[in-house]
Amino acid sequence: MKKTKEILGGIWKLYAATWFTGLLLILYPIYVVWLKQEKNFNKAMQLLKLHTRLLMVVTGIKLKVKNRHLLDKNATYIYTPNHTSYADILILYHIIPSYFVFLGKIELKKIPLFNIFFKDMNIAVDRKSNASGKAALDRCSEELDKGNSVVLFPEGTIPKSCPKMGSFKNGAFKLAIEKQVPIVPITFLSNYRRLEMKGLFTGKAGPGMAKAIIHEPISTKGLTEADVDSLRDKVYAIIHQELEKHHLV
């Protein structure tokens, strides 16, 4: 039974990848033009929202988000979701109400066509390089100075133990305190069931509900570098408790 589900999941992955690539090829000329100049990045973001919404419709992914009202579309935040799936990125475009950039692994910059989003708009980091990590956080700092929100996955990768979280790195929390920007934890509850990238015909995958919970923004005003660990642990606890509540850990 499990193997049958994995085979069906693999077929669904191929179907989803075909749709994603097809839509990207159709829209690619527009992305090329708009992503040449920063003034058009917000237009590209709106197109991405349409692009990913269409993808969700044709692949049967439905979105359920709790607590949207907690977000001020005119505010600047650092969002710190638990990382459960490549579907997390897709879903974020329909959770966050304003323009944002996200920090992703360097491998995303090597994917043909898709890498256009990491040339200037989003930020790619080589997690094995301290220099790359510093440069990426410097770029995040610049985006915050412009008033743009930033998404940082504090685990740094999708943990093998998912949905159980991996340990959190300090980068997002140091940056939030340095820039005095609120942190917004987000809990993804079911994305790992929608797209678990263990292999083409291994792991969970398929249509269904993608559930996300937005938590109360955490102010960093008045916090100092000495508070980094406690802020990190607070965010971890908030997400962990939500996962516990839904019997996922």
Give the CATH number, domain containing residue 171.
Answer: 3.40.1130
pLDDT band at 74 (very low <50, low <70, confident <90, very high): very high
Whole-angstrom distance, CA of residue 181 vs CA of residue 178: 8
3-state helix, strand, coil in the chain (%, to 5): 50, 15, 35
Cα-based distances in Å from 153 to 11, 50, 81? 28, 23, 6
What is the rounded CA–CA span in Å between residue 113 and residue 32?
10
- Residue 22: pLDDT above 80? yes
Q: How far apart are CA 178 and CA 187, in angstroms?
A: 24
Rounded to an integer, the average pLDDT of 132-144 is: 96
Give the predicted TM-score (pTM) of the model. 0.95
Domain of 159? Answer: 2-245
pLDDT at 200: 78
Number of domains into which the chain is organized: 1
The mean per-residue pLDDT over the stretch 58-79 comes to 98
pLDDT of residue 125: 94
CB-CB contact of 213 with 186 (8 Å): yes
State whether residue 176 is helix, strand or coil. Answer: helix
Q: Which two tokens stand for residue 76?
A: 């600047």
161: left (phi over 0), alpha (psi -120 to 50) or beta: alpha
Per-residue pLDDT at 202: 82
Q: Hey, what amino acid is at 126?
A: D
Predicted confidence (pLDDT) at residue 1 exceeds the cutoff of 80: no
Name the pLDDT band for 201 (thresholds 50, 70, 90). Answer: confident
**Residue 146 is encoded by which pair of tokens?**
């412009």
Mean per-residue pLDDT of the chain: 95
pLDDT of residue 249: 87
pLDDT score, position 69: 98
Residue 197's pLDDT is 72
Q: Which long-range contacts (CB under 8 A, 24 or more apart) does 107-113 make?
A: 113/21, 113/24, 113/25, 113/28
**Predicted pLDDT at 3:** 80
- The Cβ of residue 28 has, within 10 Å, a number of other Cβ atoms equal to 13
Q: Which of 72, 56, 73 is nearest to 64 (CA)?
A: 56
